[in-house]
Amino acid sequence: EAAVTQSPRNKVAVTGGKVTLSCNQTNNHNNMYWYRQDTGHGLRLIHYSYGAGSTEKGDIPDGYKASRPSQENFSLILELATPSQTSVYFCASGDPGQGQDTQYFGPGTRLLVL
């Protein structure tokens, strides 16, 4: 079973503060993704990556940055957190270039911005 882990699992932040969400995968997948989940919206793509050193904007990138320092790690960074970024964040990995269209999700990070 493919393995994706996230930290922290829960985070409370203050408005204007910096938040870093971390994701690690041991699947050796090239692609990694950050989604946020909100009621009534399903999961929406924030940023994604094709491999180490690569980050690309997804559908809702405003207010977020991403970093992919290695094949295994992919971080989501909120430089100036706002209450509208209160959500559940999921990281996922997949390897569509190798016919692995299935994405494997981490357990999620619940973020509350006060």
CB of 3 to another protein, least distance (A): 11
DSSP bridge partners of 67: 75
Interface of this chain with another protein, residues 62 to 91, rule: CB under 8 A? 90
Secondary element (H or E) of residue 89: strand 87-95
Which residues have a Cβ under 8 Å from the Cβ of 64 and sit 6 or more positions away?
34, 46, 47, 76, 77, 78, 85
99 binds another protein (CB under 8 A): no
CB of 22 to another protein, least distance (A): 15
Read off the amino acid at residue 71: Q
Q: Tell me, residue by residue from 31 to 50, as one string, x for binding to another protein by CB under 8 A and - for no binding.
A: x-x-x----xxxxxx--xxx
CB of 42 to another protein, least distance (A): 4
